[in-house]
Amino acid sequence: MKPETPQAISKRQRAYFRTGATLEIPFRIEQLSKLRNAIASREAAILEAVKQDLGRPAEEAYTSEVGIVLHEIDLARKHLAAWARPRKVRTPLVLFPAKSWVQSEPYGSVLIIAPWNYPFQLAIAPLAAALAAGNCAVVKPSEAAAHTSRLVAEMIRDTFDQSYVAAVEGGAAATQALLAERFDYLFFTGGTQIGKIVMAAAARHLTPVTLELGGKNPCIVDRDADLGIAARRIAWGKFMNAGQTCIAPDFVLAHKAIKEELLQRLAAAIGKFYGADPQASPDFGRIVNERHFDRLAALLRDGQAVAGGQSARPQRYIAPTLLDDVSWDSAVMQEEIFGPILPVLEFEDLDAAIQTLQARPKPLALYCFSRNRARQDEILRRLPSGGACINDTFGQFLNLRLPFGGVGESGMGAYHGKAGFDTFSHSKGVVRRSTWADPRTKYPPYKMPLAVLRRIISFLL
């Protein structure tokens, strides 16, 4: 059967949403359960698709693509009734007698545009939040992860009617066709430049938007850090999925006194994780395509590779690499790396280091390794970021009870858990007044002296 056009899908979803079928909480929970069952029954296929696209081991793919999504769905099913319950607020005396509350209502039909680096998770986790909030949805998986895109589309088509949830595959032309339609909400995960295009498209219809972007996430390692733990946790966060993670540490800023030892420990951690030849390791992934490989290979020319540095274009392999002798002006420090290359710079004065980072765009993630609570707090207070984690990497993402999102050039809006439900819901303020009292003093002709009115309004509000 030939897939429907974006125009036809949009029209059908608007008509279906107007029936009110998606508004009932039992319906939403049932659909989340259907989604969960569809994922669980395709676990092996999902892991194989991700391996085909990114060379990722099954253990890593399960944790970051399947397990976390199932947990997201379970969290929504368990708490959905409470999340959706109207929230009472205090009513001022000027409205007496009355009651006031905030109720969450779905936007309508939402468009979710997913990236290629975590091609299953970043398509389905937002979808779960959108369905929990009572919306219809169109999912656009990334064509760069072709195997996972096909699986996502087939899973959605087998599980849901297109008038409720639809998937649209294709490249830039398909995305542009979708963006030309009038959706009620746009959710985009990807690079900053494409994010600007998405936001411009949303502006044409004044459509609200969430942008989950990226940036150069700093990782500060202070002189008192536990270097063994820091090296393992940084290497794990950086080289998972061959560095193709929006919240991976983009560069390390290490105190001058411990930089050399940290480099040695990072190199040792890489060896323990992936062996003497990471290219032969079943636990190290590959770059998604040749275009990204060529971009990353050019960045290997910066600084000095104290570990790694090897590459093989036919296999889209770039070794986990540590770069020393890198300056702030180096090419590798001008853009988000999004690959297995980790520059290590040094600082001597924390205040000066913070000022240097303050002059750069706000990152999606901020990492700090230190045992000094005062210095931890100073870094958190003075360096804005989408999220932050102290003495680990990825912690702010793995806790689904925390909102996850960017700020400034790293994005806007947040999701995960209740934050995802709130993102895909409009908070509608409601007042219900009684009709038994209706003082005439508020109606024209106005006769109350202004001085008296000021005092009364101050009291009543």
Enzyme catalytic residues: 212, 246
CB-based contacts of 279, cutoff 8 Å, min separation 6: 310, 312, 315, 317, 319
- Give one DSSP letter per residue of 234-261, joined into a string: HHHHHHGGGG--TTS--EEEEETTTHHH
**Hey, which bits of 36-131 come out as E strands?**
87-89, 98-106, 109-113
Nearest of 170, 226, 231 to residue 6 by alpha carbon: 170
Which tokens hold the place of 241?
A: 């999925």
Residue in 261, 263, 233, 264 with CA at minimum distance from that of residue 249? 233
| DSSP secondary structure string for all residues of 420-455 | HHHHTEEEEEEEEE-SS---GGGSSSP-S-HHHHHH
Looking up tokens 């600084």 gives 303
3-state helix, strand, coil in the chain (%, to 5): 50, 20, 35
Residue 427: beta bridge partners?
A: 104
Q: CB under 8 Å to 366, separation ≥6 — which residues?
A: 217, 218, 379, 380, 383, 385, 387, 388, 389
Q: How far apart are CA 149 and CA 137, in angstroms?
A: 16
Coil vs helix vs strand at 414: strand
Q: In what order do the strands lie in the sheet with 411-412?
A: 165-167, 136-140, 109-113, 185-189, 209-212, 411-412
Radius of gyration of the chain (CA): 25
